[in-house]
């Protein structure tokens, strides 16, 4: 990601104050897409079949994996980032997870809110740094 990112040109109306006023669920909505794109791009380098790409992507993007990731990253998150995760985790949602327990789902929402926040704030290098740590985590199942 970087200055020439096509998606950066779409986010010209939101300033830092606007972004901090978004709900944690709005941040998670964006973060979910950004994180999945990172995962898919990362896995593409593995030269897997499309079926294997899909299976591998699910390992990273499912709620249980994201909950584990946010716990592992806890020590490297700034205070500001921890606050975003906590807001996302504590956000009231009317959605019941299909394939996850509620605790994992809430932590996953916190993780996605963080990724969405960092993305909208233009902190691509921080996302890359966190993703580098995530990509080195052994994801099982």
pLDDT by residue for the chain (141 residues), tens only, comes to 445 666 656 666 778 888 888 999 999 999 999 999 999 999 998 889 999 999 999 988 999 999 999 999 999 999 999 999 999 999 988 777 777 889 999 999 999 999 999 999 999 899 999 988 887 766 654
Does 1 map to a domain? no
Say what the pLDDT of residue 19 is: 87
Write out the two tokens for 135: 């990509």
The CATH number assigned to the domain holding 21 equals 1.10.1520.10
Residue 31: give the domain boundaries.
Answer: 15-140
CA 66 and chain centroid, separation: 8
Does 8 map to a domain? no
Say what the pLDDT of residue 141 is: 46
**Greatest CA separation found in the chain?**
43
Write out the two tokens for 107: 């932590």
Does 10 map to a domain? no
Does 9 map to a domain? no
Say what the pLDDT of residue 16 is: 84
Catalytic residues, which ones?
32
Report the alpha-carbon distance of residue 47 to residue 117 in Å, rounded: 31
Assign 3-state DSSP to the chain and report helix, strand, coil percentages, each to 5. 70, 0, 30
Count of domains for the chain = 1
């Amino acid at each position: 990601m970087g200055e020439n990112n096509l998606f950066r040109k779409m986010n010209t109306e939101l300033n830092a104050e606007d972004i901090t006023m978004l709900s944690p669920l709005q941040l998670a909505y964006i973060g979910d897409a950004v994180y999945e794109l990172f995962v898919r791009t990362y896995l593409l380098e593995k030269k897997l079949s499309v079926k294997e790409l899909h299976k591998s992507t699910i390992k990273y993007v499912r709620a249980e994996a994201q909950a584990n990731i946010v716990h592992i990253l806890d020590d490297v998150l700034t205070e500001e980032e921890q606050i975003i995760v906590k807001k996302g985790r504590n956000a009231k949602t009317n959605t019941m997870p299909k394939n996850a327990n509620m605790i994992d789902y809430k932590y996953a929402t916190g993780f996605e809110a963080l990724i969405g926040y960092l993305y909208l704030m233009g902190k691509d290098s921080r996302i890359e740094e966190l993703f580098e740590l995530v990509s080195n985590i052994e994801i099982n199942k």
